[in-house]
Amino acid sequence: MALGNLGKTGRRHALRTEDCARVILAHDRHVKIQWFMLALSIAGLACAATPPSKLKTYRDFAARRDGNSERGRIVFFAADKAGCALCHSVDGSNTAAGPDLSTIGDKFGRRELIEAVLEPNAAIAVGYESALVETVSGENYLGVVKVADAAVIELMGADRLRVRRARADVKSMRPSPTSLMPENLHTALTAQEFTDLIDYLASLKQPASAVASHRGTPDVIPEVVKSISLRPLLADHDSFADPGARAPSAPRLGLVWFGEIPGRDSFLAAHQSGTLWLMEKNGQKYVKTLFADFTSEVYSRTGPNGLLGVAFHPEFAQNRKYYLKHQVFENDTITSVLVEKIARGDLRGDSGAPSRRLLTIPCVTQNHTGGCIEFGPDGFLYLGMGDTGPQEDPNGHGQNMQLLLGKILRLDVDRRDDALPYAIPSDNPFRDRAGVRPEIWALGFR
């Protein structure tokens, strides 16, 4: 439901996120998108965020009451209500700036749909984050990246219009932490209208599952033959909350990896923000202590970025080496990196020694950057790297054998080849093929 603002937005000073009025005026002056001004006025957009108490009112109402999907459909399409059809298709065509919602009810539950509308910046759909492009002449454009290659950058706004600029004319392209969807969309609706909208979104399903859902939930759900129990590993006061206070609409970050530390009866938990937590058993419970804090090294402000993968060297107990896959922001570009770290002698924390960077992979957009790293039984490190967008990989990164994007890589981190900080295993399938990156183990991944 991204009622966004694509177009020439004026000089850079007019794009301060805290100065809403200046952005609106510049946008209206240059591109005359009249519906955008209407959408802003009916959505009640203000520079201040909605108070948490107001969000709770809508959240609780929609969670505890039934809505009417037919009335919700009217709210979805009405320009003086939610106006979601401005930037979302519901027919499978995927022709708008935002994602097609024809099967959104299959993908997300009611709670997730409620949160997506109330806090659009907290979890923007992967592939539909907005970007800010600044040209060498000082013009600024905001929209969803649809094409980004060596020749051009093309953005689409919520009005479904595309702006295309030659790469030579682009000074920078930066990810925006703000969704094209207005943060206060729900304020144009009553609590009942908001609930009706959620019911309509929940009803958008593939035909087979839509039919199955009409059968309803059985009155009695039989118990499993052998009962199981789920127990929290940590007490509530040791939960993994975001570092510091999170604004209601800020991106949600959480745990991305959890595993046993080799050679120790303890675990490591990795938080997307860049913190690692040691979990050691003390009697009958686990106690959490900080293993390392790399938040200053990790970029996690926008998109599904941050610390995304951890792997311990097979001989970690002896050499104390472990590896991280995370994003950084360098040269106005989100970049995925693979780094080697060294733990302390007691293996209970990081040594503080500088990272040794093994791989640097610039990303085209801020999404689909992969994340998983793992040592195989052969002792080599495997790394999953996404195609980095735009959505649907229009540039064919996953099939381009001269790029590491959209591939699974296989590296020997214990040796070095020539100027590389790692070696290429002798049996990598493309090692001796001309015009192909020898790190590639498999190709064609999202």
Please write the tens of the pLDDT for every residue from 335-361. Answer: 999 999 999 999 999 999 999 999 999
Which DSSP symbol is given to 8? B
Q: Would you give the distance in Å from CA 290 to the centre of its chain? A: 25
Q: Which of 158-172, 214-228, 259-273 has the weakest average pLDDT? A: 214-228
Query: Order of strands across the sheet with 373-375?
Result: 373-375, 381-385, 407-411, 440-443
Is the confidence at residue 409, as pLDDT, over 70? yes
Rounded to an integer, the average pLDDT of 38-54 is 50
Is omega for the bond preceding 177 within 30 degrees of 0, making it cis?
Answer: no
- pLDDT at 176 (0 to 100): 79
| pLDDT of res. 416 | 95
Burial class (CB in 10 A: 0-12, 13-18, 19+), 6: buried
Least confident of 66-80, 199-213, 343-357, 414-428: 199-213
Mean of pLDDT over the chain: 81
pLDDT: is 62 or 240 the higher one?
Answer: 62
What's the pLDDT score for residue 440? 96
User: What percent of the chain is predicted at pLDDT more than 70?
Assistant: 82
CA dihedral 160, 165, 171, 175 (to 10 degrees): 30
For the chain, the C-alpha Rg in angstroms (whole number) is 24
Q: 3: helix, coil or strand?
A: coil
Residue 300 and residue 274 in contact, taking contact as beta carbons nearer than 8 Å:
yes
Q: How far apart are CA 100 and CA 96, in angstroms?
A: 7
Residues 66-94 pLDDT 10s: 999 999 999 999 888 888 888 888 988 88
Has residue 305 got a pLDDT over 90?
A: no
pLDDT tens, residue by residue, 101-140: 998 988 888 999 998 888 887 777 777 778 888 999 999 8
Rounded to whole angstroms, the Cα distance separating 396 from 105 reads 29
Per-residue pLDDT at 365 exceeds 50: yes
Higher pLDDT, 63 or 37: 63
Query: In the predicted model, is pLDDT for residue 40 greater than 60?
Result: no
Q: Which comes out higher in pLDDT, residue 207 or 264?
A: 264
Confidence of residue 24 (pLDDT cuts 50, 70, 90): very low
Pairing assessment for the beta strands 381-385 and 407-411 based on DSSP bridges:
antiparallel
What does the pLDDT read at residue 325? 97
Least confident of 8-17, 207-216, 237-246: 8-17
Tell me the per-residue pLDDT of 250-303, one tens digit each, with 9 for 90 and over. Answer: 667 888 999 999 988 899 999 999 999 999 988 888 889 999 999 999 998 877
Name the most confidently modeled range: 22-26, 32-36, 105-109, 420-424. Answer: 420-424
Please give the average per-residue pLDDT across 147-163, as a whole number.
85
Which residues are within 8 A (CB) of 214 and not within 5 positions of it... i.e. 6 or more apart? Answer: none
Section 225-234 average pLDDT:
83
Look at residue 307 and tell me whether its pLDDT is greater than 90.
yes
Contacts 24+ apart (CB under 8 A), 349-352: 349/278, 349/290, 349/291, 349/292, 350/276, 350/291, 350/292, 351/320
Q: Is the pLDDT of residue 2 over 60?
A: no
Which residues 6+ apart lie within 8 Å of 363 measured at CB? 327, 333, 334, 335, 336, 369, 388, 389, 405
Angle at 239 between CA 59 and CA 328, to 5 degrees: 90
